[in-house]
Amino acid sequence: MASALIFAYLACSLVLGLWAGRRGSGGTDDFITGERSFGPVLMYFVMGAMVFSAYALLGTPQRVMAKGSDAFYALAYGAVAMVPLFFFGAKARRIGARERMFTQAEFFGRRYNSRRLTTVMGLASLLACLPYLLVQFKGAGVVMQQVLGWSPIAGAAAVYAVVMVYVMFGGMRGVGWTNVLQGVLMLIVVWWLGLAIPQQLFGGIGPMFDRVIAEQPAYLTLPGPGPGTTDFQWSAEVLLSILGFTMWPQVFMKCFTARNARLVQHSAVVYPTFLLFLIPLFFLGYAALLLPGAPRDERVLLWLVHHPLLAGGDVMLAFFSLAVLAASMSTGDALLHGGSSIFVRDVLVRGLGLQLGERTQTWILRGSVVVLAALGLLLMMVAHHVSLVDLLLLAYAVPVQFLPIVMLGLYWRRANRPSAEAGLYLGLGSVIVLFAADKLAPGLYAALNPLGLQIGVLGLALNCLVMVVVALLTPPMAPDHLRRFEL
């Protein structure tokens, strides 16, 4: 049953994505922003489904089992994460439409009148998105292995062949409409399982937590089970995630897909209804915690839904597998789409100054989707040689370096080209140096970072300081230029 459902779902995604792609003009603007035509329903699912990835579905219950209530950090930072978008999103949408801009790096490259800045932001964005792409591939591979018995690489390749085709020929519209299907699937399945499984196994949510309190009380509050999460670590991860969340290029770029400026704010307002789907995932994590023999890795939910004590385990496994694939694909397609857009617009067109016609750009965009998908598979093949945790650490630290450029660029007239370049280069440079020192020279790293702060925080502090100081010491940009950016 599960295998039939999976193939039917993949076929539906493919047809829907290709059908959606036929609704537009097929040009560059259509591929990258869907010709800025998305209404409230599409925006809701694009934002929600894009954010919640295979890592949310597979990793959240795993984190509950490993670290207890530390797992709530995803809900805690999500509570505030979209608020910045509510404030700056409408402005970004207006300026983006007026100036015909497609990507975050293009936007700020023009704001600071610097092609170098666009190129560096674009390359840094590509670097940051690769670990996330790998996580999505791994999520798809785990499901295909569990359900069909395929090797994870073959499974991920099959799933992402579908994604690749609908992104290549459906563009942003393909991503948007498939995200509706994927988002609906994720929400329904996760809430259903999150309420049904505790009910079947323990008689409800309340009785389940009664048992957690009796048997595993340390898992309900910080610091949690040993070695535990300190208040400082909890606060740092919540704050850094809040600051970095809307700086992710694939999130920022969604401002440009909305039909009008108010819709961007609307997306931020309704986003928490999607966010709450983490709650049933916490329930499932606690349910697994109470059962003997639960695996401690990302397969824990696949194990739980197929537990012999559950009635209808086959149906649950089938639908949960679909939900994981939906989560993987809805984030993976945004990364493939965003990454190809960034590569073509920021690196080739703006960075290298290539004069590419509309049709050529569209075909290179499609080719880049294939290259990125191939890179994702390649990373998966060598993944056992590299630490995913390390890669994610680097990936978190990069987008947060865009924060000063974005916020000061949108709201501070004094922010100018020298300050933006100096801040960004220093922020990114320090992140790379600290990351390398941590791996290659631990003694030096300990001397550079005696408090053991996250490297993104250190880079951000330097970045902000330098940007403000340089901006105050150098002349502001021309008033005519600033007016184009509503300053």
Partner 1 sequence: MTPRVTPTRPAYLARLAPLLFVATTASLVWPLYPWLGNHVEPRILGIPWSLSYVILVIAVNTAALVALYMLRAVDASEHPEDGPHG
Residues binding partner 1 (CB under 8 A): 29, 35-37, 69, 72, 75-80, 83, 86-87, 90-91, 93-94, 96-100, 204-210, 212-213, 217, 220-222, 231-232, 234-235, 238-239, 242, 259-262, 265-266, 268-269, 272, 275-276, 279, 282
Minimum Å distance from CB 24 to partner 1?
Answer: 11
Rounded-to-integer distance, Cα 199 and Cα 365, Å: 48
Minimum Å distance from CB 79 to partner 1?
Answer: 4
Output Rg (C-alpha) for the chain, integer angstroms.
Answer: 22
* DSSP labels, 231-266: HHHHHHHHHHHHHHHTTSHHHHGGGGGBSSHHHHHH
Closer to partner 1 by CB, 214 or 440: give it. Answer: 214
How distant, in Å, are the alpha carbons of 35, 42, 95, 273, 358 from that of 38? Answer: 8, 6, 17, 19, 22
Closer to partner 1 by CB, 94 or 299: give it. Answer: 94
Closer to partner 1 by CB, 215 or 297: give it. Answer: 215
Minimum Å distance from CB 28 to partner 1?
Answer: 13
Rounded-to-integer distance, Cα 307 and Cα 144, Å: 19
Closer to partner 1 by CB, 239 or 377: give it. Answer: 239
Q: One-letter amino acid identity for 53? A: S
Maximum alpha-carbon separation in the chain: 70
Minimum Å distance from CB 453 to partner 1?
Answer: 14
Rounded-to-integer distance, Cα 487 and Cα 474, Å: 18
Sort residue 146 into left (φ over 0), alpha (ψ -120 to 50) or beta. Answer: alpha
**Which residue shows structure tokens 């805690």?**
76
Minimum Å distance from CB 236 to partner 1?
Answer: 8
Minimum Å distance from CB 58 to partner 1?
Answer: 20
174-185 as b/e: b if 16+ CB within 10 A: bbbbbbbbbbeb
Closer to partner 1 by CB, 96 or 122: give it. Answer: 96
Closer to partner 1 by CB, 143 or 240: give it. Answer: 240
